[in-house]
């Protein structure tokens, strides 16, 4: 269409928009084609010509402001094969929330694959997905893909090439392999960051925490952010550094907290020290006790009684006051040494039952081995399968059939599935999803057979993760390699 015709079309359009005969406004060539004895017919013919001109001769012009996103970064693992994507989508569909969807991604990553980005993408604020997805998290947050792709190892020079998720993943890795280098980076680069980011960086010091970190953490006691000072204090407490020097005066919170604990003796032959929580006399006292447990450090409390951390834990009378038990466990999770955490976890798991579930408060501090012990304990018990969902940071794909076959979980699942109680059935199906994450392929396969034999439909969506797990049989979990 030439310029004259375009101008004519524009005039025609304006004429028709306002109404009335527009024939005289048309380009000359068009008028020749459209000429007719009847004016209505002339307008209709022009309308047909204009329609065709708009359809074939005009092209939408690209706005000058069109903006493209940087290319989606390529991840370090291959994408899940297409043949497994229907199973993956079924598992993702059944996963009720972002955390459970991220768990599916974790299982798949443990078998050496990443998900197709059209099936699942971590959100910009995601902190649950495996580290392998950090470049996508940063891409979602608006990171520059070019900068991401050209960066190498995290150093002071490449610091700005890393966006928050990738930087976090790199720092965690550095803390595990070269903790001093990571500490130096946090120290030098963190100083100029705002308090919120500084806090997140200092929090990463918990990975590979050692006595070498004490001077740096002590320096943070002068940080301008109260939250950073508090975090540094907790980390120091975990390293055995005393926070509050108790003077025993009326303003001493450690002395006040100790006042809620009764020291005693038990046993006839070998007199053994015991620590028993004293029941608060009023709601105000109860609240004060909770505050003190939350704000004091475990090392300071133990020092007040002149004991080592493991000795104090061994002497604590669990089961007397559930509330006090919970406060103590949380206190140890926050400020207890690694040895105290391990000792407490072992003691609680050995106690079994409800006490074993208190270990869930220690999740961020527990090593993979102790998490597995806890999970086996929950499965053996078979009474609180919902607690499996609370085991944060559990590894994927390691649970063996021998762990499960003799546990009370299998009869519990069978009974719930074959019974008439819909609530029990739903709960059992949720447990299947969780075990689908923990199981190795053989366990997944066997468990499917068990529950189908018990009456669960073979096509039940709750079997989605187990089926995906079993289908990934050729790719053992990284943790089992």
**Contacting residues toward other proteins, per CB under 8 A:** 13, 16-22, 40-41, 43-45, 47-52, 54-57, 59-63, 65-72, 79, 82, 86, 90, 116-118, 121, 139-140, 145, 420, 457-461
Is the Cβ of residue 16 or residue 159 nearer to other proteins in the bound state?
Answer: 16
Question: In the complex, what is the shortest distance from the CB of residue 57 to other proteins, in angstroms, rounded to a whole number?
Answer: 8
Question: In the complex, what is the shortest distance from the CB of residue 194 to other proteins, in angstroms, rounded to a whole number?
Answer: 27
Is the Cβ of residue 71 or residue 259 nearer to other proteins in the bound state?
Answer: 71
Across the chain, which distance is largest between two alpha carbons, in Å? 125
Question: 272: part of which helix (H) or strand (E)?
Answer: strand 272-277
Residue (of 317, 315, 311) closest to 278 by Cα position: 317
Which residues are CB-neighbours of 418 under 8 A, at least 6 positions away? 454, 455
Hey, what's the torsion of the CAs at 386, 388, 393, 398, to 10 degrees?
-150
Q: Six-digit token pair at 466?
A: 């187990």
**What does each C-alpha distance from 258 to 255, 273, 408 come to in angstroms?**
5, 15, 41
Quote the CA–CA distance of 273 and 174 in Å, as a whole number. 43
Question: In the complex, what is the shortest distance from the CB of residue 385 to other proteins, in angstroms, rounded to a whole number?
Answer: 22
Q: Which residues pair with 273 in a beta bridge?
A: 265
Question: In the complex, what is the shortest distance from the CB of residue 414 to other proteins, in angstroms, rounded to a whole number?
Answer: 17
Is the Cβ of residue 244 or residue 460 nearer to other proteins in the bound state?
Answer: 460
Quote the CA–CA distance of 196 and 199 in Å, as a whole number. 5
Is the Cβ of residue 44 or residue 242 nearer to other proteins in the bound state?
Answer: 44
Question: In the complex, what is the shortest distance from the CB of residue 201 to other proteins, in angstroms, rounded to a whole number?
Answer: 28
Question: In the complex, what is the shortest distance from the CB of residue 211 to other proteins, in angstroms, rounded to a whole number?
Answer: 45
Question: In the complex, what is the shortest distance from the CB of residue 376 to other proteins, in angstroms, rounded to a whole number?
Answer: 31
Q: Six-digit token pair at 374?
A: 């806890």
Question: In the complex, what is the shortest distance from the CB of residue 171 to other proteins, in angstroms, rounded to a whole number?
Answer: 25
The residue whose two tokens read 């204090």 is: 233
Is the Cβ of residue 182 or residue 466 nearer to other proteins in the bound state?
Answer: 466
Is the Cβ of residue 130 or residue 135 nearer to other proteins in the bound state?
Answer: 135
Question: In the complex, what is the shortest distance from the CB of residue 38 to other proteins, in angstroms, rounded to a whole number?
Answer: 9
Contact between 421 and 465 (Cβ < 8 Å): no
Question: In the complex, what is the shortest distance from the CB of residue 67 to other proteins, in angstroms, rounded to a whole number?
Answer: 5
Question: 261: part of which helix (H) or strand (E)?
Answer: strand 261-266
Quote the CA–CA distance of 244 and 33 in Å, as a whole number. 97
Contact between 287 and 228 (Cβ < 8 Å): no
Is the Cβ of residue 13 or residue 99 nearer to other proteins in the bound state?
Answer: 13
Is the Cβ of residue 195 or residue 459 nearer to other proteins in the bound state?
Answer: 459
Is the Cβ of residue 17 or residue 423 nearer to other proteins in the bound state?
Answer: 17
Is the Cβ of residue 94 or residue 312 nearer to other proteins in the bound state?
Answer: 94
DSSP sequence for 201-258: HHHGGGTT--GGGHHHHHHGGG-S-HHHHHHHHHHHHHTT--SS----STT-HHHHHH
The residue whose two tokens read 């450690």 is: 254
Which residues are CB-neighbours of 412 under 8 A, at least 6 positions away? 382, 383, 385, 428
């Amino acid at each position: 269409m030439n310029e004259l015709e375009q101008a004519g079309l524009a005039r025609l359009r304006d004429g028709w928009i306002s109404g009335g005969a527009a024939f005289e406004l048309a380009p000359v060539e068009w008028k020749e084609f459209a000429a007719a004895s009847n004016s209505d017919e002339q307008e209709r013919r022009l309308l047909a010509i204009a329609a065709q001109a708009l359809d074939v001769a005009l092209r939408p012009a690209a706005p000058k402001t069109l903006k493209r996103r940087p290319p989606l970064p390529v991840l370090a693992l291959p994408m899940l094969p297409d043949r497994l994507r229907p199973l993956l989508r079924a598992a993702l569909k059944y996963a009720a929330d972002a955390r459970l969807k991220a768990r599916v991604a974790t299982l798949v990553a443990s078998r050496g694959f990443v998900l197709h980005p059209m099936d699942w993408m971590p959100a910009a604020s995601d902190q649950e997905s495996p580290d392998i997805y950090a470049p996508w998290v940063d891409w979602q947050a608006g990171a520059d893909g070019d900068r991401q792709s050209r960066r190498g190892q995290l150093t002071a020079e490449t610091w700005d090439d890393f966006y928050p998720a990738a930087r976090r993943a790199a720092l965690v890795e550095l803390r595990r392999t070269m903790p001093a280098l990571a500490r130096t980076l946090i120290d030098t680069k963190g100083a100029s960051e705002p308090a919120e980011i500084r806090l997140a960086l200092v929090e990463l010091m918990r990975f590979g925490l050692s006595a070498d970190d004490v001077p740096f953490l002590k320096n943070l006691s002068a940080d301008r952010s109260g939250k950073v000072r508090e975090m540094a204090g907790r980390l120091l407490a975990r390293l055995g550094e005393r926070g509050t020097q108790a003077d025993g005066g009326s303003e001493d919170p450690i002395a006040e907290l100790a006042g809620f604990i009764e020291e005693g003796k038990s046993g006839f032959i070998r007199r053994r020290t015991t620590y028993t929580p004293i029941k608060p006399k009023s709601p105000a006292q109860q609240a004060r006790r909770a505050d003190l447990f939350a704000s004091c450090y475990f090392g300071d409390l133990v020092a007040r009684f002149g004991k080592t951390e493991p000795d104090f834990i061994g002497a604590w009378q669990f089961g007397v006051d559930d509330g006090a038990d919970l406060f103590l466990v949380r206190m140890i999770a926050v400020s207890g040494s690694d040895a105290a955490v391990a000792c407490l976890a072992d003691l609680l798991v050995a106690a079994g039952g409800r006490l074993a579930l208190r270990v869930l408060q220690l999740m961020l501090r527990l090593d993979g081995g102790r998490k597995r012990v806890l999970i086996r304990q929950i499965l053996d018990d078979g009474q609180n399968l919902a607690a499996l969902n609370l085991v944060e940071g559990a590894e994927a794909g390691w649970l063996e059939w021998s762990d499960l076959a003799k546990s009370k979980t299998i009869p519990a699942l069978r009974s719930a599935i074959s019974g008439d109680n819909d609530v029990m059935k739903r709960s059992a199906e949720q447990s299947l999803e969780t075990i689908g994450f923990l199981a190795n392929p053989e366990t997944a396969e066997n468990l499917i057979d068990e529950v189908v034999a018990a009456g669960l439909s073979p096509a039940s969506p709750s079997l989605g993760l187990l089926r995906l797990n079993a289908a990934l049989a050729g790719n053992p979990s990284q943790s089992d390699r």
